[in-house]
Amino acid sequence: MHLALVGTPNSGKTSLFNALTGSRQKVANYPGVTVERKEGSFVTPLGRQVSVVDLPGTYSLRGRSPDEEITRDIVLGRAPGEALPDLVLCVADSTNLRLTIRLVLELKRTARPLMLVLNMFDIATRRGVTVDVAALSEALGIPVVTSIAVRKGGTADLLRRTDEIAAQAPVAAQQNLWQPLTVAELRATQREADRIIAANISLPMRPDTWTARIDAVVLHPVAGLAILALILFVMFQAVFAWAQPLMELLSSAFTALGQMVHDTLPAGLLQSFLQNGVISGVGSVIVFLPQIVIIFLFILLLEDFGYMARAAFLMDRIMGGAGLHGRAFIPLLSSFACAIPGIMATRVIDNRRDRLTTILIAPLMTCSARIPVYTLIISAFIPDEQIWGWFNLRGLVMFGLYAAGIASALGVSFLIKFLMWRDYAPAPFMLELPDYKLPRARSIAIGVYTRAKMFLQRAGTTIFSMMVLIWFLASFPLAPAGAQDPAINYSFAAVIGKALEPLLAPLGFNWQIAVALIPGMAAREVAVAALGTVYAIEGGKEAAEQIGQMLATKWSLATALSLLAWYIFAPQCASTLAVIRRETGSWKWMAITFAYMFALAYAASLATYNIARALGAG
Amino acid sequence: MDPQLKRQTMHGANSNDTRPQTPLGLAKRGFRGVIKHLSTHDLSSALSATELESRLIELGFVEGANVEILHEGIVGRDPIAVRVENVTIAVRRREAMAILVA
């Protein structure tokens, strides 16, 4: 049996999906488009195997964006390669039924088997809403169940009804009468919805006093912006400070593992491959798992709490000054985790020009793959001091790097608007501000787990294969017998690095950095592992342990700062470029992104290096 | 009831009753009223009049709905957070000009 979950944004569709399927979820893309496809499965009390897809949220079936088109096509059975759902579940936030009932009336025209799920029913009851479920079901002409997705057993009624519906003989397929609704029909369905609500649901209900109280502060023009800044600041301090103990633990575990391999195996190529290539390479990336978990934890918490829409509200006109749409805030904030989901999230912006601007600047947001690079360099070169009492200097530098990314993104956006699209009416900003909800540990845990798994898979595939390649390039050809210099100086890596050195020398980069930057194109964090491998092979076994201490002796402060500046801007990520190509449907925008970011990176590094040297850090 | 007033009230959405209609886009924070009419023509929006009207309806802005302006942004008191029945929707004043309220 196939189920499809449909609902307006913020209807609690995803928490219901999590409650039904737990961690048995598959996240992929629909073929040909970059809309996220979430599918899961569960077994009903009667033992029926059910698959369920979580469709993108929508207020109607008109299909204004690629996301909404997917929802429409699956409900209508038009999506190629997708099963026609046996039952469509329309999920509603019970405290907020007005827009969902209108959607139900529109869905009914498709003549698909339909059931309305009144989710978050406990909150509605607490706020004084009483629903005559039987009468509502009769008025709508479809089954209606209540559910509390976040409570254990809260979906029992839903499961029971699903079993009942599945057991019934399939009704003869009816004619789909749905066509895009005209303005008059939309208005008529909303009026009908209001009439049904008035007849079957007791209103007025008490507004959510907590939401009103929180919004009085959070949406206050001045206090609200201060709170937003504070949240971002705490988030970045946390990423740096809280993750530290765990990272040290992981790091020493990998060192011990490397040492074990070193002690067990005879000296030679295999020992070098396992210790320097695999363990120190992959290990130096996995160490950053705690930071990635923390940043995703913050983003998911803010999203589930309902704060993200408020942030968009606060930032709309401020970002508008830089030529950005308020809705761009969420994709840009996601880009702090990774530009790829961020760029994909720009689908919520339906105006093409606004969307292109957001895509072009999303890679400037400091993604989590930069964290390993920043952390390595900061901990090697910036002293661990407290300043002004409780600010950590390293945390401040990290914050500065993030701020530089944001400032440059706003600057670039402003230039794009000024140069290309000087005179056009800005696209409208219309967004529901949902009531605040306490985030649920289980839902957050599933979200963080999915992201962490994706990161580890990447570490196991892309990063692992790049590390093998780097190790190979850095190890072969072998040094001639009786050679005096470190073996790496005779390798392919040295040849490539030295060929690039003249180009990068003005930035203060040596050939080892040049070697590390090439595989860094596959994924930024690989550069850290590559540096580890290059210096490990060069310095011998003892040097493999502490890349940071090694760098502190090999580089000047000016070189380190220059590399930090490079990483703020450099288009060092092939996957991001590939996603830009796919999302914009053109090589042109990909090329423009690469060119402008490269130019910015080169200029910033050149300036940083020379200023730092002039100030005596050379 | 005064016959003149009664006739106007019976006209419903398109007539003035006791209060004059104003665009929601010009109303201040704390304003409470009822939607009388949507007029999406003659508006310098990036959307066509039909598309803008469809979206406003999908977000619950239909004639007869109660609205209240809860919050305003910092720059130009824009955008505004509007309570429409029991949903809160953020819109810019530019688009809210299409919503005539009284």
Does A610 have pLDDT greater than 60? yes
Q: Do B45 and A428 touch (CB under 8 A)?
A: yes
> Taking CB atoms and an 8 Å cutoff, what residues of chain A touch B83?
207
A–B interface: beta-carbon pairs under 8 A: 125
Structural domains for chain B = 18-101 (2.30.30.90)
pLDDT at A52 over 60: yes
Q: Do A313 and B73 touch (CB under 8 A)?
A: yes
Residue type, A117: V
Residue A56 predicted with pLDDT over 90: no
Q: How would residue A281 be classed by pLDDT, with cut points 50, 70 and 90?
A: low
Flag whether pLDDT at A3 surpasses 70: yes
Tell me: pLDDT of B18 over 80: no
Residue of A nearest to B40 (CA): A183
Q: Which residue, of A360, A389, A420, is where some domain finishes? A: A420
Separation CA A594–CA A574 (nearest Å): 10
Q: State whether A96 and B53 contact (CB < 8 Å).
A: no
Residue A310 pLDDT grade (very low, low, confident, very high; cuts 50, 70, 90)? very high
Q: Do A161 and A268 share a domain, yes or no?
A: no
Report DSSP letters for A581-601, one per residue. HHHHT-HHHHHHHHHHHHHHH
B70 interaction partners in chain A (CB closer than 8 Å): 212, 215, 219
Task: Judge whether residue A237 has pLDDT over 50.
Answer: yes
Give the best-scoring range by mean pLDDT among A222-231, A469-478, A552-561. Answer: A222-231
A453 and A531, same domain (yes or no): yes
Q: How confident is the model at residue B11 (pLDDT cuts 50, 70, 90)?
A: very low
Most confident of A478-482, A498-502, A585-589, A598-602: A598-602
DSSP codes of every residue in A465-524: HHHHHHHHHHH-SPPPTT--S-GGGGSHHHHHHHHHHHHHGGGT--HHHHHHHTGGGT-T
- The encoded tokens of residue A598 equal 């490269």
A594 occurs within a structural domain: no
Residues A405 and A510 in one domain: no
Amino acid A418: pLDDT: 82
Distance of CA B42 to the CA centre of its chain: 15
Q: Judged by CB atoms within 8 Å, which residues 42-101 of A form the interface with B?
A: 59-60, 62, 95-96, 98-99
Range of the domain at A525: 242-287+440-555
State whether residue B37 sits within 8 Å of chain A by CB.
Answer: no
Residue A151 lies in a domain: yes
Residue pointed to by tokens 């009831």: B1
Beta bridge partners of B61: none
Chain A interface includes B21 (CB < 8 A): no
Higher pLDDT residue, A454 or A140? A140
* ipTM confidence score: 0.83
| Other C-beta atoms lying within 10 Å of the C-beta of residue A295 | 24
Triad A577, A583, A587: Cα angle to 5°: 55
Q: Name chain A contacts of B52, Cβ cutoff 8 Å.
A: 428
**Residue A76 vs residue A341, higher pLDDT:** A76
pLDDT score at B7: 39
CB-CB neighbors (< 8 A) of B92 in chain A? 316, 426, 428-429
Residue reference for tokens 């720059």: B75
Q: Provide CB contacts within 8 A for A128, sequence distance 6+.
A: A202, A205, A206
In a domain, A566, yes or no: no
**Is the model's pLDDT at A338 over the cut of 60?**
yes
The partner residue sitting opposite B78, judged by closest CB among A317, A432, A433, is A317
Examine the fold and report which residue of A535, A555, A575 is the final residue of a domain before the chain moves on. A555
Do A413 and A526 lie in a common domain?
Answer: no
Pairing of strands B99-101, B32-38: antiparallel
CA distance A220 to A355: 28
Q: Do the Cβ atoms of B81 and B71 come closer than 8 Å?
A: yes
Nearest to B13 by CA among B75, B61, B59, B56: B61
Q: How many whole angstroms from its chain centre is CA A105?
A: 34
Closest CA to A279 of A615, A597, A595, A541: A541
CATH number of the domain residue A75 falls in? 3.40.50.300
Q: Is residue A587 part of a domain?
A: no
Which residues 192-221 of A are in CB contact (within 8 Å) with B? 194, 203-205, 207, 211-212, 215, 219-221
The mean pLDDT of chain A is 83
Q: Which residue has the tokens 């919050």?
A: B71
What do you get for the CA distance between the two ends of chain B, in Å? 20
Judge if A177 and A249 occupy the same domain.
Answer: no
More confident residue, A424 or A349: A349
Cα A134 to Cα A598: distance, rounded to the nearest angstrom: 63
Residue A288 has pLDDT above 80, yes or no: no
Residues of A in contact with B34 (CB under 8 A): none
Domains in chain A: how many in total? Answer: 3
- Mean pLDDT for chain B? 83
Question: How crowded is residue A460: how many other Cβ atoms within 10 Å of its Cβ?
Answer: 12
Asked if the C-beta of A222 comes within 8 angstroms of chain B's C-beta atoms, the answer is yes
Report chain A residues whose CB lies below 8 A from the CB of B74: 221-222, 224-225, 314, 317-318
Contacting residues of B for A316, CB less than 8 Å apart: 73, 78-79, 90, 92
Residues A191 and A333 in one domain: no
Q: Tell me what pLDDT residue A220 has.
A: 92
Q: Do A317 and B74 touch (CB under 8 A)?
A: yes
Together in a domain, A327 and A253: no
pLDDT at B14: 45
Q: Using a CB–CB cutoff of 8 Å, tell me whether B91 touches chain A.
A: yes
Confidence of residue A45 (pLDDT cuts 50, 70, 90): confident
- DSSP three-state, residue A548: helix
Judge whether residue A8 has pLDDT over 80.
yes
Instruction: Choose one of A555, A573, A596: the last residue of a domain.
Output: A555
Is A357 part of any domain? Answer: yes
**Gap from A443 CA to chain B (nearest CA, Å):** 24
Is B46 in CB contact (< 8 Å) with chain A? Answer: yes
The answer to whether residue A427 scores a pLDDT higher than 50 is: yes
